Amino acid sequence: MFWDYELSALFAKAGLTRWPLLICSIFGLAIILERSIYFLKIRFNLSKFTQKLFEFLNKNQFNNALELTQKSIHPASLIAGIYLNNLQNKYRENVLSREGSLAMERVEQRLRGLAVITHVAPLLGLLGTVAGLVAAFHEIELLNGYVQPGNLAGGIWEALLSTVFGLIVAIPCMVAFHLFEAWADQVARYMQAVVSQLDEYFGNQATYPFKVSAPSIDIDEINAAQ
């Protein structure tokens, strides 16, 4: 039976495309492991973070609020720290937009490569199958059609192994890609939620009650003074 073969024996019968598929599987596995470790490292409880953050802000403990944003490497925490450091910067929205985009680039790093493997692996498998079928029917032509059905079936199932290996590589990569994409979307939503809550909080303040360590420079005031 098919499953009685060892994996190495099946791999040897999968045709020339088995090597590109092996390379795809190695890169796919490496990306999955690296991204899994990354998303585990940035695990984040948004409700607890915002509760503690606004607790410090309501008590005018600005430095404690800043320290809280530095305790996590989650982009939502980092963007909150950038927001607080740019309270009096009139270009704050531009800064937040730029830093948010850079943070999302880090979150989505290598996901495009995983998507490429997801699409390329089945095509490589199909290519190997088609090439194997072409070779099988070419042998039939050389034998002037005198071939046993068993010989034809053997050539066909060996050709189909390429498709099997292509799907084996593609399916886990596709599942992982969609999981990582969902987690990346969650990160983006958390960032938007933090900025929205901070906008709402400081929008209700007549003036900012905190002394910012690095206030922005107003160019118009400098020109007027000169």
- Reported as a single tens digit per residue, the pLDDT across 157-196 is 777 888 889 999 999 999 999 999 999 999 999 999 999 9
What DSSP state is assigned to residue 1?
Answer: -
Q: What is the pLDDT of residue 159?
A: 78
**Higher-pLDDT residue of 92, 225:** 92
Place of tokens 């499953």: 3
Q: What is the pLDDT of residue 57?
A: 93
Sign of CA dihedral 214, 219, 225, 226: positive
Tell me how far apart the alpha carbons of residues 225 and 125 are, in angstroms, rounded to a whole number: 72
Q: What angle do CA 77, 81, 86 make, to 5 degrees?
A: 145
14-72: per-residue pLDDT in tens? Answer: 678 889 999 999 999 999 999 999 999 999 999 999 999 999 999 999 999 999 999 99
Smallest Cα–Cα separation from 195: which of 50, 18, 56?
Answer: 50
Q: What is the pLDDT of residue 6?
A: 65
Question: What stretches of the chain adopt beta strand conformation (E)?
Answer: none
Q: What is the pLDDT of residue 128?
A: 87
Say yes or no to pLDDT of 218 above 50.
no
77-114: per-residue pLDDT in tens? Answer: 999 999 999 988 889 999 999 999 999 999 999 999 99
Residues comprising the chain, all counted: 226
Q: What is the pLDDT of residue 212?
A: 36
Q: What is the pLDDT of residue 24?
A: 95
Q: What is the pLDDT of residue 88?
A: 87
pLDDT-based confidence at residue 215 (cuts at 50, 70, 90): very low
- Residue 140 CB contacts under 8 Å (≥ 6 apart), including other chains: 147, 152
The string over 190-200, giving b where at least 16 C-beta atoms fall within 10 Å of a residue's C-beta and e elsewhere, is bbeebbebbee
Sequence spans of domains, the chain: 13-208
**Higher-pLDDT residue of 225, 12:** 12
**Higher-pLDDT residue of 12, 189:** 189
CB–CB of 131/165 below 8 Å? Answer: no
127-167: per-residue pLDDT in tens? Answer: 988 888 887 777 777 666 566 666 666 667 777 888 889 99
Say yes or no to pLDDT of 12 above 80.
no
Q: What angle do CA 173, 174, 179 make, to 5 degrees?
A: 95
**Average confidence (pLDDT) over 200-222:** 46
